[in-house]
Amino acid sequence: MVGPNDEVDACAFCGDPLNCDGACDHDRVRQEQASDEILRIAEARVRRAAEWVDFDMGALFQAYVDNQTKAYKEVHGE
């Protein structure tokens, strides 16, 4: 019998001291790779959002106004 102060050599991932066949380690690696991919995607989204924030909104608004003015003049024959 194992007491509360005895050390047991168990799998660090699944905790199974006797019947761990290494499949849990494969699952751990797969989960870590999936987590890394999720982080890469999130970082890419943050970088794209930061690029969008740097966009000159004043220039965008001016282009919108210019296009509206041009369309108005075309419709009204000016």
Burial degree of 20 (CB within 10 A; 0-12, 13-18, 19+): middle
Which structural domain range is residue 21 located in? 1-78
Residue 17: the pLDDT is: 66
* Ranges of H-type helices in the chain: 23-53, 57-76
The per-residue pLDDT for 54 is 63
- Taking the whole predicted model, whether its pTM rises above 0.75 is answered as no
CA max distance for the chain: 97
Q: What is residue 6's predicted lDDT score, i.e. its pLDDT?
A: 62
pLDDT at 66: 92
* Cβ–Cβ < 8 Å for 2, 9: no
> How does pLDDT run along the chain (78 residues), one tens digit per residue?
555 666 666 676 676 666 677 677 777 788 888 888 988 998 888 888 777 666 677 888 899 999 999 988 888 877
Q: Residue 27 in 3-state DSSP?
A: helix
Total number of domains in the chain: 1
Query: Rounded distance, CA 69 to CA 22, Å?
Result: 69
